[in-house]
Amino acid sequence: MRERPIVTIDGPSGAGKTTVSKRLAQRASLTWLDTGAMYRACALASRRAGIPWSDGKRLGTMCADLAIAFRREGEEVRILLSGEEVSEAIRTPEISMGASEVSVHGPVREAMVALQRRMGEGGGVVLEGRDTGTVVFPDADAKFFLDAHAAVRALRRYREWGPGEGRTYEEVLKDVIRRDILDSTRQHSPLMMAEGAVYIDSTTLSVEEVVDLMLRSIPLPVPRTGEDGKP
């Protein structure tokens, strides 16, 4: 076992991976790596560069040269794209869907996986995404698949940005279902539960309840903090 573990959390859009992984990293004193944000950054960069999300070859070339980094600010983690803070810019519905579209391309995934492995290979990290336990770190010390009913996941997304974007719940639900299909049927690294992963349904669970379940399954020789973030 590694001195400090690698923990992966995969699952569909809206299952709560980002919130849970960030909280888990805080409570277990680990570093949080939001791999989904990296694909969002790729979608944003390609849109700015005028590269269609369908052009896998050009996207792969672009992604191989992208400078993506994470910066901690207190309890928040910001994502930087070529030095520019884009944490808010990558969270729009358009870029969210774009992330799924660019991620179907093999060259894009190869570039992103290589970067993710470099970031997490030393251990002491929590990664969340679609293939962190199946492709990025199949030898992770703890793997989870976080899920929730599609209607609940759509409601979470709707509350996050639906009203502000002038979209109805029904439209958001259609997008969630469409993204599920894209993520689970793509040729390269489709969404699936990794071998040995612990399945958690967050439909009726709070964030802290999900984190508590995960902490029981992680081989942690690291300090665990309480719900207030203190040892």
Q: Give the residue, 10 or 160, on which the prediction is more confident.
A: 10
The one-letter amino acid code at 186 reads: R
The CA angle 150-34-5, to the nearest 5 degrees, is 110
- Flag whether 166 is in a domain: yes
Q: What is the pLDDT of residue 222?
A: 46
Which range (15-24, 121-130, 137-146, 161-170) has the least confidence? Answer: 161-170
> Mind listing the pLDDT tens digit for each residue in 51-110?
999 999 999 999 999 999 988 887 778 899 999 999 999 988 899 889 989 988 999 999
Across all residues in the chain, what is the average pLDDT?
Answer: 89
Share of the chain above pLDDT 70, in %: 92
The one-letter amino acid code at 155 reads: L
> Mind listing the pLDDT tens digit for each residue in 97-151?
899 899 889 999 999 999 999 999 999 999 998 899 999 999 999 999 999 999 9
Q: Give the residue, 8 or 29, on which the prediction is more confident.
A: 8
What CATH number is associated with residue 19?
3.40.50.300
- Flag whether 226 is in a domain: no
The one-letter amino acid code at 110 reads: E
The reported pTM is 0.80
- Flag whether 231 is in a domain: no
Instruction: Compute the distance between CA of residue 169 and CA of residue 175 in angstroms, rounded to an integer.
Output: 10
> Which single residue is written with the structure tokens 């959390």?
9
Number of domains in the chain: 1
Taking residues 203-221, report their average pLDDT. Answer: 91
Say yes or no to pLDDT of 2 above 80.
no
Length of the chain: 231
Q: What residues form DSSP beta bridges with 6? A: 125
Instruction: Compute the distance between CA of residue 160 and CA of residue 158 in angstroms, rounded to an integer.
Output: 5
Structural domain that includes position 148: 6-215
Which pair of structure tokens corresponds to residue 126?
Answer: 């929590």
Note the helical H segments in the chain.
17-27, 35-49, 56-64, 93-102, 106-120, 150-161, 169-185, 207-215
3-state secondary structure of 177: helix
Taking residues 185-214, report their average pLDDT. Answer: 93
Q: Which among 135, 127, 129 is positioned nearest to 106, based on CA atoms?
A: 135
- Flag whether 181 is in a domain: yes
Helix axes 17-27, 207-215, angle to 10 degrees: 50
Q: How confident is the model at residue 206 (pLDDT cuts 50, 70, 90)?
A: very high
Contacts of 138 (CB under 8 A, 6+ apart): 194, 195
- Flag whether 154 is in a domain: yes
- Flag whether 79 is in a domain: yes
Residue 67 CB neighbours (<10 A): 12
- Flag whether 228 is in a domain: no
- Flag whether 25 is in a domain: yes
